[in-house]
Chains A and B, each alone.
Chain A
Amino acid sequence: MKKRYLVLENGSIYEGEAFGADTDVMAELVFNTGMSGYQESITDLSYRGEIIVFTYPLIGNYGVNRDDFESLRPAASAIVVHEIARRPSNWRQMMSLPEWAEKSGMPGISGVDTRALTKELRDFGVMKAALVDEVTEETLSTLKNFQSSNTMVADATTKTQYQNPTDGVSIALIDFGLKNSILRSLAKRGANVMVFPADVAAETVLAANPDGILLSNGPGDPQDAAYAIPTIQALEEKVPLMGICLGHQLFALANGAETYKLKFGHRGFNHAVRHLSKERLDFTSQNHGYAVDRDSLANTDLVVTHEEINDHTIEGLRLKKHHAFSVQFHPDAAPGPHDAEYLFDDFLTMIADAKKETTQNA
């Protein structure tokens, strides 16, 4: 067994065994509390530039399969686990997680006291970390000087426009680091989906004459994708709009709100979110390190629609004068509960209502 070390910005070092690709990486270290769904998380582009610590100690139990990818390749820089399954077992399994990690160039470390590590992240907040084969005198100083990429959205988004044509309602999906589950949720509803790159101009989108706009999830600090703000401002006035995760944060920024970085984020799917007007609670799939600042909403047209029940983080917003809303969590789940999937139906209803209004007003 080859040794590998996880070095934290605060100087902590965790020793473990190497698996996956044989490369050193540096990235932000975050923890995920889901007890299943590692394949979805690892390939979720919102994890780009992050090393994931799984709090559940047994990872890889059911291997890797054909259908549960959220993007084609690993999005996370690396993964940290307590134990990787020796013999995964599931009828859909194609290969083991370490095999896949090795093939797709993602390093990993096992044998780590992930609970101690999680507590450290909880107490210190998210930290930068290096996964290395050898700890040298420079490791820590290099790590301290390491800067996360500020082009993560640009790196994650599609370079070209593409379409999944159907005869259904037309949705323009702006890809900031799109999760496949959003496409699946729309496909399930028969939508005609047109996917645009993150830096698409509003005119290009409008030229496609969509019935609705969907702002996807994506990695990193929303400020790094501020170039999308004017596009969103132009679109939300004309076409019904829904934002998810990073899309929600950008929607908030576009309407005068501000975002801030959470101490250690929400990553997992056992957090309940309250839908304020419907008085319902849903368990939601979450993966975000930033959130919308409540105080910044004061002089905006944004209304809080959802909040996390424990720390009251803003989890959903609605624009007063337009058909536009956004949620911080993933109604598309994968991994995690399907409780909030109804939001896609709400979106389609909103589109239908908007159409009716237009017809009536015409």
Chain B
Amino acid sequence: MPKRNDIKKVLVIGSGPIVIGQAAEFDYSGTQAALSLKEEGYDVILVNSNPATIMTDSEIADKVYIEPLSLDFIERILRKERPDAILPTLGGQTGLNMAKDLSEAGILDDLNIELLGTKLSAIEEAEDREEFKDLMERLHEPIPESTIATTVDEAIAFADEHGYPVIVRPAYTLGGTGGGIAENHSELLAIAANGLELSPVTQVLIERSIAGYKEIEFEVMRDAHDNALVVASMENFDPVGIHTGDSIVTAPVQTLSDREVQMMRDAALKIIRALKIEGGVNIQMALDPKSYKYYIIEVNPRVSRSSALASKATGYPIAKMAAKIAVGLTLDEIINPVTGTTKAEFEPALDYVVVKIPRWPFDKFSSADRRLGTQMKATGEVMAIGRNMEEALLKAVRSLEIGAVGLDDVTFDNLSDEALMQALMPARDDRLFMIAELLRRGISLEAIHDKTLIDEFFLDKVLHIIEIEQELAEHVNDVDYLQYAKKNGFADATIAKIWHQSMSEVRQLRHSKHLLPVYKMVDTVAAEFESKTPYYYATYEKENESVVSDKKSVIVLGSGPIRIGQGVEFDYATVHAVKAIQRAGYEAIIMNSNPETVSTDFSVSDKLYFEPLTLEDVLNVIDLEQPIGVVVQFGGQTAINLAQPLTDNGVQILGTTVEDLNRAEDREAFDQVIKQLALPQPVGKTATTVADALSAAQEIGYPVLIRPSYVLGGRAMEIVSSDEELKDYMQRAVKVSNDHPVLIDSYLVGQEAEVDVLSDGETAVIPGIMEHIERAGVHSGDSMSVYPPQYLSQKVQHEMVNAAINLAKSLNTVGLMNVQFVIHENTAYVIEVNPRASRTVPFISKVTHLPLAQLATRVMLGEKLADMGFETGLVPADDMVHVKAPIFSFTKLPDVDSLLGPEMKSTGEVMGSDTTLPKALYKAFVASNIKVPQYGNVLFTVADADKEEALTLAQRFNDLGFAIFATAGTGSYLAANALPVEILDKISESDNNSVVALREQKLQIVINTTQADERAESDGRLIRNAAIENAVPLFTALDTVKAFLEVLESRSFTVKEMQ
């Protein structure tokens, strides 16, 4: 069927901000979809609230709207643009929900807009529990038996009928709190009772547990002609029981015979055909490891995280194909873009093994519950490709960038065998390392299988790695063992550690024996047909397929897995760098390990190496490609950390030199720069022992800001106010040493602001000043940020611009740099310099219309800013106001305290733009899913130090007609200041407390601040959790409340009595 000509204009809905469970994969799918539709000649309108995305670049669609993904705003866009159709299946759950809302509100009918890809009825059938059950029954496809219980007796009755174990899931609790698996009657009694108690609607779902079954996923496509195919099959290393987003996943399936594969394929195709999906679907299934029995767990009627993974794992671009199918093309009409000769109607054949490992945020959130379950907790993932499982697994491990190069780098010396066995279940994020350690200690594979039910095939792969570790130890410098270890994915660094040598010694031995990796192509067809895809992975085999072209090339290092502090913003910059390199006439080569991103779409660069970003892996590619240089400025801390070792190995780093990068990052050297330039800076010191730290802090004077050196995203950064807190911090958060000093700065109270600088060493351009809403103390990545500044004085702005220009010149910056300031008593103090592209690059690029990453790349390649028409100084702003707001994923991580501080906690960002600050703020709040109420009740529960400030805020709420509620201490202060206030009891005292009020929807806004020493206060924590659970706007910084009030006041009319 040819593509449809009755539609001309299509709106693509993005997925909004990055949150746990909905991340960069939707930038990839949305970008692919938009480009794919444009390629077919359609007018593409794109809407997304997330500025840190490639999809919101003006060249991706004909028109791009960065607006809140709310009914109200989408409707405005629809009425303005009048598209013929909407493609909602590529923007995650957000996109689908938006489509549902638009339809239910009658807007689609009203404007005669069609939904492409998947009918709403199909979405309902896949997502609504009851309808899904009905559909599966009609198709004779089994799903785990389940029921909804409102009493413990009902729960017991179900379990008696269907057998134990059963899973208990309380309805509407934060992150599934209170759920669990009951193995027997007495456990169920306890869990069900607790779950019912915790559920605000006194309801639990009881489901027959299939934990321990093999978890299998199929990525399936179908077109309007009913052609259907399986793009990829995947098998989880971790059996059913852990969310697939938190599971180690392999592709293709490994332990299934063809009979089992075909049985499940039949089921998958039957389901996609029954749902009449036109596009892609993800189907999750559970297979009994001891019979043909299987269950359908879940069907996602849209492109998903798994489909991004499947696309990268197979080379088959699912989202691109899905978009073409949505406009009527059939799979046999679409050319497979990988081969360029065969049709998209084929099922990819892999001739390699893929392993995905999730990247969890527990390095940042030390208080979080590391146990894995049905709620996804990972912020990102890595993928690795090898010619065997061991190779793919070890490459994935070192791609994680968690300080472990091999399975021997995370040890559990303080745990006994028994304790370690116990720790296997329920699984934690580091279970793979535990398994390795147990096998190393000689615990049998069978014992580990019995405990975890992980397939023996997979456990044996880990055992094999341990055996190689041991053989290596017995055969130092033996080339045969070296080769064997390399074929099984061992890093030089791991071998070096086992041999008590340096990594470069192993590398030299390897080179002297010509033991070098080859690069094989990912071609979707297992070499059956010739392909032109420039998509490669390293392995130790006979034939190298990566042909180095005659063209001069530049390698861009990506940013690896998405984690707190290093998000999709860096992928954005990476992709832009590639574009600029290509435009300058060079071949652009990307190295990255993250399957979710646009940068690992093989059509983005001239060549893609899907490889870990470690020194060894990067040097190997450089050895082959011999690029003119390597770009490290856009890959966040991942890439910048490689600058020094690469330079040491004779590699040319483009842009700012390593020497100058070090001058910015090394405390002492940087102090010299600051002193030379006579820039104001908070007093700071470096300490290498606890005693040093104490004396430094006393000298500076409390409060001080303390953190380890060389960090990203404020890891382990805290404000401490006393010797006790400092000692506690030194014990808890860091291992201080000569190599790893801690930095101690005077904590200046004041507003924060920052600038990005584009410099070629001669000209330094400041594209814009960003003013933070929250004062210093809240991490810049967690602050709302406004461009252009609304409150900063001319004097301060002038100081910032001058400081940034002087820093850029003094540090010989070639490329980008970010400078952060605190504005204390109307003076701009420099608090931090990052000599690389920062997370603000996409935002500032979008609001200033200056493609900063591209300009910076051109500069690194030798162009002069003056020749491009730039001159030193601040670029004037236009008359729009733009607000960037952080987005958090607290609902997924119930144990992480939602209080904001110097440690970054946000996972994503949104942007609100309009003609005035209140309007832009309003959009930013709406885009953040913060309900902006017109009236209602506000709860104040604030620290003593904040009471005075809170009072003025409470008065403003009162003037707007809001009723003020407060906890005892805050309430009495407000009441004493003649404010009408209703005081709520402590949670332990009575039911007339804040948590109950939140559950009963009595409170519309919660404002909570705490003293630094109140870390353990329980009521505050419970109140914050209850606010998050019940989706009530929660503010933990009074500055944010002020901004919120500005919005409320701007939307309100004055009601004033006659005098």
Known: A34-B258, A62-B256. A270 touches B388 (CB 8 A): no
User: A310 near B: Cβ within 8 Å?
Assistant: yes
Contacting residue for A118 out of B259, B527, B541, CB 8 A: B527
User: B77 near A: Cβ within 8 Å?
Assistant: no
A310 to B332, CA, bound (A): 9
B332 touches A281 (CB 8 A): yes
Known: A87-B460, A270-B346, A271-B346. A68 touches B258 (CB 8 A): yes
Distance between B479 CB and nearest chain A CB, rounded to angstroms: 16
A118 touches B526 (CB 8 A): yes
Contacting residue for B542 out of A34, A89, A116, A337, CB 8 A: A116
Residues from chain A with a CB closer than 8 A to the CB of B563 are: none
User: B178 near A: Cβ within 8 Å?
Assistant: no
Using CB atoms, name the residue of chain B closest to A273. B345
Contacting residue for B257 out of A62, A87, A116, CB 8 A: A62
User: A336 near B: Cβ within 8 Å?
Assistant: yes
A83 to B520, CA, bound (A): 17
B349 touches A33 (CB 8 A): yes
Selecting from A50-58, A99-107, A128-136, A147-155, the interface stretch reads: A50-58
A336 to B233, CA, bound (A): 14
User: A35 near B: Cβ within 8 Å?
Assistant: yes
Contacting residue for B388 out of A57, A88, A119, CB 8 A: A57
Q: Interface readout for B211-234 with A: 1 if CB under 8 Å, 0 if not? A: 000000000000001110100010
Contacting residue for B253 out of A33, A36, A37, A116, CB 8 A: A36
User: A217 near B: Cβ within 8 Å?
Assistant: no
Distance between B468 CB and nearest chain A CB, rounded to angstroms: 12
User: A351 near B: Cβ within 8 Å?
Assistant: no
A135 to B459, CA, bound (A): 38
User: A159 near B: Cβ within 8 Å?
Assistant: no
User: A202 near B: Cβ within 8 Å?
Assistant: no
A66 to B124, CA, bound (A): 43
User: A199 near B: Cβ within 8 Å?
Assistant: no
User: A331 near B: Cβ within 8 Å?
Assistant: no
A119 to B388, CA, bound (A): 19
Residues from chain B with a CB closer than 8 A to the CB of A83 are: 387-388
Residues from chain A with a CB closer than 8 A to the CB of B455 are: 89
Residues from chain A with a CB closer than 8 A to the CB of B259 are: 67-68
Q: Interface readout for A13-35 with B: 1 if CB under 8 Å, 0 if not? A: 01000000000000000010111
Known: A39-B257, A116-B541, A334-B258. A270 touches B290 (CB 8 A): no
User: B350 near A: Cβ within 8 Å?
Assistant: yes
B342 touches A310 (CB 8 A): yes
Using CB atoms, name the residue of chain B closest to A311. B342
A88 touches B542 (CB 8 A): no
Known: A113-B541, A270-B348, A283-B229. A33 touches B457 (CB 8 A): no
Chain B 355-399 interface residues, beta-carbon cutoff 8 Å to A: 387-389
Q: Interface readout for B1002-1038 with A: 1 if CB under 8 Å, 0 if not? A: 0000000000000000000000000000000000000
Residues from chain A with a CB closer than 8 A to the CB of B345 are: 272, 281, 309
Distance between B502 CB and nearest chain A CB, rounded to angstroms: 30
B530 touches A122 (CB 8 A): yes
Using CB atoms, name the residue of chain A closest to B445. A87
Using CB atoms, name the residue of chain A closest to B460. A87
Using CB atoms, name the residue of chain A closest to B349. A33
B256 touches A310 (CB 8 A): no
Using CB atoms, name the residue of chain B closest to A14. B542
User: B261 near A: Cβ within 8 Å?
Assistant: yes
User: A73 near B: Cβ within 8 Å?
Assistant: no
Residues from chain A with a CB closer than 8 A to the CB of B256 are: 36, 62, 90
B351 touches A61 (CB 8 A): no
User: B254 near A: Cβ within 8 Å?
Assistant: yes
B262 touches A333 (CB 8 A): yes
Using CB atoms, name the residue of chain B closest to A271. B346
B387 touches A82 (CB 8 A): yes
A85 to B257, CA, bound (A): 14
Residues from chain B with a CB closer than 8 A to the CB of A336 are: 258, 262
A68 to B257, CA, bound (A): 9
Q: Interface readout for A218-248 with B: 1 if CB under 8 Å, 0 if not? A: 0000000000000000000000000000000
Residues from chain B with a CB closer than 8 A to the CB of A192 are: none
Count of interface residues, chain B, beta-carbon cutoff 8 Å = 52
User: A211 near B: Cβ within 8 Å?
Assistant: no
A338 to B264, CA, bound (A): 11
B456 touches A89 (CB 8 A): yes
Q: Interface readout for B224-260 with A: 1 if CB under 8 Å, 0 if not? A: 0111010001000000000000000000111111110
- Name the residue among B257, B290, B341 with the largest chain A CB count within 10 angstroms: B257
Residues from chain B with a CB closer than 8 A to the CB of A337 are: 262, 265, 347
A89 touches B528 (CB 8 A): no
Distance between A359 CB and nearest chain B CB, rounded to angstroms: 35
User: A71 near B: Cβ within 8 Å?
Assistant: no
User: B525 near A: Cβ within 8 Å?
Assistant: yes
B255 touches A33 (CB 8 A): no
B258 touches A37 (CB 8 A): yes
A185 to B253, CA, bound (A): 26
B460 touches A122 (CB 8 A): no
B541 touches A274 (CB 8 A): no
A336 to B388, CA, bound (A): 23
Contacting residue for A92 out of B257, B331, B332, B526, CB 8 A: B257
B543 touches A61 (CB 8 A): no
Distance between A85 CB and nearest chain B CB, rounded to angstroms: 7
Using CB atoms, name the residue of chain A closest to B390. A83
Using CB atoms, name the residue of chain A closest to B229. A283
Contacting residue for A33 out of B265, B266, B525, B542, CB 8 A: B525
Distance between B818 CB and nearest chain A CB, rounded to angstroms: 44
User: A115 near B: Cβ within 8 Å?
Assistant: yes
Contacting residue for A88 out of B253, B266, B332, B457, CB 8 A: B457
User: B536 near A: Cβ within 8 Å?
Assistant: no
User: B464 near A: Cβ within 8 Å?
Assistant: yes
- Name the residue among B254, B343, B351 with the largest chain A CB count within 10 angstroms: B351
User: A335 near B: Cβ within 8 Å?
Assistant: yes
Residues from chain A with a CB closer than 8 A to the CB of B528 are: 31, 33, 55, 118, 122, 264, 268
User: A249 near B: Cβ within 8 Å?
Assistant: no
A90 touches B255 (CB 8 A): yes
A270 to B265, CA, bound (A): 13
B258 touches A335 (CB 8 A): yes
Residues from chain A with a CB closer than 8 A to the CB of B291 are: 91
B542 touches A113 (CB 8 A): yes
Residues from chain B with a CB closer than 8 A to the CB of A116 are: 541-543
User: A328 near B: Cβ within 8 Å?
Assistant: no
Q: Interface readout for B540-556 with A: 1 if CB under 8 Å, 0 if not? A: 01110000000000000
User: A114 near B: Cβ within 8 Å?
Assistant: yes
Distance between A288 CB and nearest chain B CB, rounded to angstroms: 14
A86 to B289, CA, bound (A): 19
B527 touches A58 (CB 8 A): no
A62 to B259, CA, bound (A): 11
Distance between A32 CB and nearest chain B CB, rounded to angstroms: 9
B343 touches A55 (CB 8 A): no
Residues from chain B with a CB closer than 8 A to the CB of A113 are: 541-543
Residues from chain B with a CB closer than 8 A to the CB of A335 are: 258, 262
Distance between A198 CB and nearest chain B CB, rounded to angstroms: 27
Chain A 44-85 interface residues, beta-carbon cutoff 8 Å to B: 55-58, 61-62, 65, 67-68, 82-83, 85
Distance between B791 CB and nearest chain A CB, rounded to angstroms: 61
A219 to B781, CA, bound (A): 67
A3 to B110, CA, bound (A): 74
A39 to B346, CA, bound (A): 23
Using CB atoms, name the residue of chain A closest to B521. A115
B266 touches A338 (CB 8 A): yes
Using CB atoms, name the residue of chain B closest to A92. B257
Distance between B844 CB and nearest chain A CB, rounded to angstroms: 45
Pairs A–B under 8 Å by Cβ, sample size 13: A55-B527, A62-B256, A62-B257, A87-B457, A88-B457, A113-B542, A115-B520, A115-B543, A269-B347, A270-B525, A274-B332, A280-B227, A281-B331
Minimum-distance CB pairs A-B, first 3: A37-B258, A116-B543, A113-B542
Given contacts A58-B389, A67-B259, 4 further A-B pairs with CB under 8 A are A55-B528, A62-B257, A87-B460, A310-B346
